Structure 1
Amino acid sequence: MHSLIDDFTGNLFQDPVGPCISLYQPTHRSHPDNGQDPIRFGNLVKKAEASWKERYPDKDPAPLLANLRKLGEERNFWNHTLDGLAVLVSPDMFRVYRLQRAVPELVNVGDSFHIKPLLRMVQSADRYQVLAINRHSAKMFVGNRDALDPFEAGDDFPDTLEAVLGDDPLRQRPASWSRGAAATIAGVNDGQIERSKLVDADTEQFFRAVDRAVAEQFSRPARLPLMLAALPEHQAMFRKLSHNAYLLPQGIDTHPDAISLDELRERAWRVMEPKYLERLAGLVDMYHAARARWLANDDIAQVARSAVSARVSTLLVEADRQVNGRMDLQSGAVDFAAEGGIGEDLLDDIAEKVIANGGQVVVVPKGRMPSETGLAAIYRF
């Protein structure tokens, strides 16, 4: 399965070779609800074919449609879906993303991908990560207010104590034993070796390895808040040695295997929700303060030009809002589509430009947006 975070970080969706097909649909995690998901997907593929023939009558969609139909027939894939699905296809790209949020059914065929639903997954202010750890194992989860799911770590992630320390026969000794005058293990004096000290040394070495891996593989690429789920004594030890700047001071004080995944999500969201609301309020305050200095705007046409010229540092985009039209990607000039007319999503195109020019995009619920146009931009200059 493709990594949405890696693809956004690598600007994979910038300047694609078109035409591009974007398909979105809600999916289900379990039987019997998921039985209808591949059927609905097949109907979306038919709609994509019809839209393609209308917009690009001189181009052949057969290779792209063949890949989509093949996906629709993969039974194992449809038995392991989450809450939503996004499939992006172009002449030189095929991407499939399982989503933690349900998305409305949508078919878009155009010169670029429709990625705003994905922006909400990647740029939404309510996303977080959880590290569940004990003396013997570590697991990573990614979540939002609605869902929490295991994060597939690479083979080089130190998910067990044995993966870090290997199989050391000395660690299988009784709690207290003597090896004689020559015995020296990790700074322990000759003679009696206390088992508890050896266990603590092992745990510290394991925690250090996990801390480095989490920072390198998860926190720095995603830049998401990280919560620690562990027993209080393990919380103290891990925090003392951790160098992860994204680790939150509040954690979940329990053995992670002692609670269900749903309870873990509930407890994580209780920690995250105040920070989420605080961040949204801070962004809105920044927008109003910048607007008072003529460094913010909510006019779509003006923001589009500013996005192209790299003026936009932060763009707030209203969730589930779409404004159809066309945008010149060189000048930023926009033409709004007539009501009900066909066109690209201008908010989508503007957001892509902001990201490409190093700005941040945050998808915001309608009730917390500081404007009514669908976007609000804070300028660098």
Structure 2
Amino acid sequence: MSLRDDLQALVQDVGVHGPFVSLFMPVHPEDVTMEKDRAQFKSLVSQAQTEFGERFPDAEWRPYGEKFALILAERQLISGTNTSMAIIAGPDRVYQYFMRLPLNPEVKITENLYVLPIIENDQYNINYDLLALEKESFRVFSVHGHDVTEVDLPDKAPTKRSAAIGTELKNSSDLQRSSGTKGSSVFHGRDPKEEADRADEERYFKMVDDWVRANISVPTHARIILMAVDEVQGEYRKISKSGVLMDQPRVAKMPPKLTKDVLHDIAVDLEQELRTMAKGQLQKALDDARSGNRYSSATPDIARAAVEGRIDTLVVKRGASAHGAIGFDHTVDRESEEARANNLLNDIAVVVLGYGGHVFVQGDDGFKDKEVAHAILRGRIG
């Protein structure tokens, strides 16, 4: 489950069906026996059961224990090259995430979903399709983080220019003559093959653009990053009208062989560029909000704005905590013993997601002393 596609739906779906037991742990994909991870998982489940009984003595542990036992029995503790795992279990459902974000073993027993580690892992994971385009052909790769998979295109896809539009050329040579000075004749050469190739190239790129949009981008809602040499980049971008082609970043080369390792390296570089772009866009949005009087950094004010549905974007300081809790009736409690043991920032994040807002977790940069969160509001203050 990815944050972009599912986390807001998850927050809205679970409603009042707590409490929640969250387990976070590193995993070791190189250990095919999973013995270390199995032992760690059992230890965390045992710890969770003890803390659950202390925190919610009237609640039944059995539904949670059954879900954890099923995960252990099905050996669902590793996935690909991910280095961490998070499991959020409620009395009715269980949600499992595999992540690249390094995590320490931890148990959270909460009334609300504990989502901050999942947000931090997925906040800049922008899934996209990579269009590898040449003058005579194209291929499409689906990219999720560092994982690259070639899309199996149907026979009707215009993957080859020769098959898509043909290569016929009626006149093999054509010269136009005009009168030069002093009655001499000047021949203006016009290479019909070159002109036909240029026209065919434009037609082919238009076919590719239309087909990719209708058959790849519309069904998946994924944006397109173009991989092509500079000349092809320029010509295709002049023709593309699909609206799904990203201006930046772009891969201005075409490796002779698109091996698994080559594609992985390209995906790593693109992910870094996308993260840098996203961070820059977020910082600009914060600056604009400050100048437009749509910004707050006071935790009580942020909590109030969250329950009123007035937060568009929330930025939480990594590792920060503020005492308090938001109930399912959206009351903010900062006084009770349970509230003082809870992280209010997580509850604010859940509420913001529930109202369709955006949440990010960032390091110390940009936070002044004692600040733990920034909020971009949906309207001006006052």
Q: TM-score, normalised by structure 2?
A: 0.74
2: CA distance, partners of 1:211 / 1:373: 44
2: CA distance, partners of 1:260 / 1:322: 41
Cα separation, partners in 2 of 1:78 and 1:278, compared to 1, 3 Å: closer
Cα separation, partners in 2 of 1:233 and 1:332, compared to 1, 3 Å: farther
Q: Aligned residue for 2:19? A: 19
SS at the partner of 1:69? helix
Shift of 1:34: 5.8
Cα separation, partners in 2 of 1:216 and 1:320, compared to 1, 3 Å: farther
1:154-165 alignment, distance < 5 Å = 159-160=152-153, 162=155, 164=157
Equivalent of 1:354, from 352, 355, 365? 352
1:141-220 alignment, distance < 5 Å = 141-143=143-145, 148-150=146-148, 159-160=152-153, 162=155, 164=157, 171=163, 205-219=207-221
Task: Give the residue type in structure 2 aligned to 1:95.
Answer: Y
Conserved 8 A contact 2:326-2:344? yes
Percentage identity across aligned positions? 18
Shift of 1:349: 0.9
Cα separation, partners in 2 of 1:103 and 1:231, compared to 1, 3 Å: farther
Q: Aligned residue for 1:191? A: none
SS at the partner of 1:137? strand
Conserved 8 A contact 1:176-1:195? no
Structure 1 residues 199-251: Cα deviation after superposition (integer angstroms, max 9, x where no partner) = 9867754553333455334446xxxx753334446545654325235613330
Structure 1 residues 180-211: Cα deviation after superposition (integer angstroms, max 9, x where no partner) = xxxxxxxxxxxxxx999989867754553333
Structure 1 residues 1-56: Cα deviation after superposition (integer angstroms, max 9, x where no partner) = x4443322424455241121111222233237965223222221111111111112
Shift of 1:92: 1.8
Shift of 1:129: 3.4
Task: Give the residue type in structure 1 aligned to 2:144.
Answer: V
Shift of 1:375: 0.7
Cα separation, partners in 2 of 1:76 and 1:316, compared to 1, 3 Å: closer
Q: Aligned residue for 2:262? A: 260
Task: Give the residue type in structure 2 aligned to 1:343.
Answer: A
Conserved 8 A contact 1:82-1:99? yes
Conserved 8 A contact 2:224-2:244? no
Q: Aligned residue for 2:186? A: none
2: CA distance, partners of 1:206 / 1:90: 46
1: CA distance, partners of 2:309 / 2:79: 43
Q: Aligned residue for 2:64? A: 64
- 1:100 equivalent to 2:93? Answer no
Q: Aligned residue for 1:312? A: 311
Shift of 1:269: 4.3
Conserved 8 A contact 1:284-1:369? no
Structure 1 residues 235-286: Cα deviation after superposition (integer angstroms, max 9, x where no partner) = 4565432523561333012336155344213431453354244224313423
Task: Give the residue type in structure 1 aligned to 2:117.
Answer: P
SS at the partner of 1:162? coil
Q: Aligned residue for 1:182? A: none
Conserved 8 A contact 2:18-2:91? yes
RMSD over equivalenced CA pairs, Å: 3.8
Shift of 1:68: 1.0
Q: Aligned residue for 2:47? A: 47
2: CA distance, partners of 1:246 / 1:60: 51
Q: Aligned residue for 2:192? A: none
Gaps of 5+ in 1: 179-193
Q: TM-score, normalised by structure 1?
A: 0.74
Cα separation, partners in 2 of 1:43 and 1:275, compared to 1, 3 Å: same
Aligned length: 344
Conserved 8 A contact 2:77-2:85? no
Conserved 8 A contact 1:119-1:363? yes
1: CA distance, partners of 2:318 / 2:215: 33
Cα separation, partners in 2 of 1:33 and 1:102, compared to 1, 3 Å: farther
Q: Aligned residue for 2:126? A: 128
Cα separation, partners in 2 of 1:342 and 1:311, compared to 1, 3 Å: closer
SS at the partner of 2:102? coil
Shift of 1:369: 3.0
